Every structure is written in structure tokens, then in C-alpha cells.
Homo-oligomer: A and B are copies of this chain.
Amino acid sequence: MLMADLFGKTLNKEVPIPYYYQLKEILLDYITNHHPDRNVPIPAEVDISAHFNVSRPTVRQAINELVVEGYLVRQKGKGTFVMKPKISQAFLQNLESFNNEMTKKGLEPSTKVIGLEVIECDEKAGDALRIPAGSKVIKLRRLRYANDEPIVYVITYLPYDRCLPIMDKNLEFESLYSILREVCGLSLLKAVRNLEAVLAGEYEADLLDIEKGAPIQYIKSVTYLEDGSPIEYSLAKYRGDRSQFTFELGIR
């Protein structure tokens, strides 16, 4: 159980940091560095409480926050277990397709197309694509999975006239970027991404199989062609409990 690594530590009762928070940091270190077996529960609340000489509610608060943050999961009658690690993604650094990225990680990607329609764009999509509100755009809604677990819900807007061939493609099997490049003959140059941490609403929560109010990494992107014109505006909601994004930046 490697409990020695957990129970070798103590709380510092002389600093103005709440006990539950110190305990949470100790538990987080323990579960991320010393508890490799996800089939074995972490030590029981009563044992943690006795060792650290803090109340059961203090222990429960630390564990609760690790549960809501997606590090731990409670299983009725069995105990509290370490969650699967988050999927680390280079989406921020490379314009790589979701499928390639998941395949590289040894995960099986799949895609469900929820909607593919031609609509008149609203002002926001029009601004992003630099076309007047009311112009015809393709609106594509996809739910993307890794090993059958939903990871991200993406809404993509594409200018209708330049991306028409999309309408005949099966986007559950073909890559959007490949179609844009190879079928539509477009040269992609760069993307601008905007990130926000938000909470899942009921609709996204249902789609992503998480609780309403769970954390979501919300990434809005505009992809540009070599001639400088925007070709794709997308709104992606990633499950916070399953996603982390890593990238490197040089110092300027």
C-alpha cells in the first residue's frame, strides 16, 4: 500500500494554512507519486484522521475537493480510488488532428457527428470568419472520444462557399483538416486559440458524461489560411477531469 509515504508526513500546525488544505496537498502528492495501483483504495478516512490528528470532517473536506477536481473517485462500499490520469495533449502547440494526437498516446479515437448543417451565421461566427452575419456557413457539431470515453464536444463553423465538399464527407472517419487541405485545396497557416476555464452546463454535461458544474476547458480557435483569411472557427469544450494541455514557449 506504500502508506509509509503518506504517513511519513505531518501537518504544520504553526502556519496560517488550513489543515484540510495541507492535508489535501499531502494526499495529492501521495496519490500522484506513490499510489500507482488504481485498483487499491487509498487509506480510509478514519486512519488518515488518526495519523494526522485532525477531525474526520477535515479529512473529508480534503478528499471531497480531490474528488471534485477529478483526482479521486469514491466507489460505494469499496473505498476511494485514484482516477485515471488526465490525457496530456499538445493541441495548444501543434495543429494536429485529435485522431493523430490520441493515436500517438496509445488511445483509440472515435468521433460522433451530432450535426452537420448549413445555416446563416450569427454575428460572432461572422466576425471570426470575417463574413457578414447572415452569410451561409457550415455548422458541424462533433463529440470526440478516446477509448469510448467522451473527451471533447466541438462546434465548428466553416464558410460555405470555400468548404462545400465537407457536406458530402463522412466526418466520423475522415479528418476535417485533411479534407480542407486535400479536397478543398486550402493551405492552413496558423491558428489563434483562446482558453477559458468554465463550468459544464446541463447540455454539455449530458454529452460529455460528467456532472453539471464540473470543470471544462473551453478553447475557441480561429484557423487562418496562408492568404490571411480565416477558414475555421471552432468552440471546443474539453472535460477538465480528463484533459491537460502542455506546451513550451521560448523567451523573447
> Using a CB–CB distance below 8 Å, which chain A residues touch chain B?
15, 17-18, 20-21, 24, 29, 32-33, 61, 65, 68-70, 86, 88, 92-95, 115, 122-124, 188-199, 201-203, 213-218, 238, 240, 243-252
Q: CB-CB < 8 A to A68: which residues of B?
A: 199, 213
B203–A18 touching, CB < 8 Å: yes
B203–A247 touching, CB < 8 Å: no
A249–B203 touching, CB < 8 Å: no
Q: A203-B17, A203-B18 are in contact. Are A246 and B197 (CB under 8 A)?
A: no
B249–A94 touching, CB < 8 Å: yes
A-B contact pairs, 5 of them (CB 8 A): A20-B203, A69-B199, A92-B249, A189-B250, A198-B240
A245–B24 touching, CB < 8 Å: no
A244–B195 touching, CB < 8 Å: yes
Closest-by-CB residue of B relative to A214 is B199
B194–A197 touching, CB < 8 Å: no
B246–A192 touching, CB < 8 Å: yes
Closest-by-CB residue of B relative to A235 is B25
Q: A188-B251, A190-B250, A251-B95 are in contact. Are A198 and B215 (CB under 8 A)?
A: yes
Q: A95-B252, A192-B246 are in contact. List 16 more A-B contacts (CB 8 A).
A: A15-B115, A17-B203, A21-B203, A29-B123, A29-B124, A32-B124, A69-B198, A93-B249, A191-B248, A194-B245, A194-B246, A195-B217, A196-B215, A196-B217, A197-B238, A213-B213
User: What is the minimal beta-carbon distance from A222 to any residue of chain B, in angstroms?
Assistant: 10
C-alpha gap A20/B202 in the complex (Å)? 10
A33–B202 touching, CB < 8 Å: no
C-alpha gap A79/B243 in the complex (Å)? 37
A201–B65 touching, CB < 8 Å: yes
A252–B213 touching, CB < 8 Å: no
C-alpha gap A24/B198 in the complex (Å)? 14
Q: CB-CB < 8 A to A215: which residues of B?
A: 196-199, 215-216
B197–A216 touching, CB < 8 Å: yes
A249–B190 touching, CB < 8 Å: yes
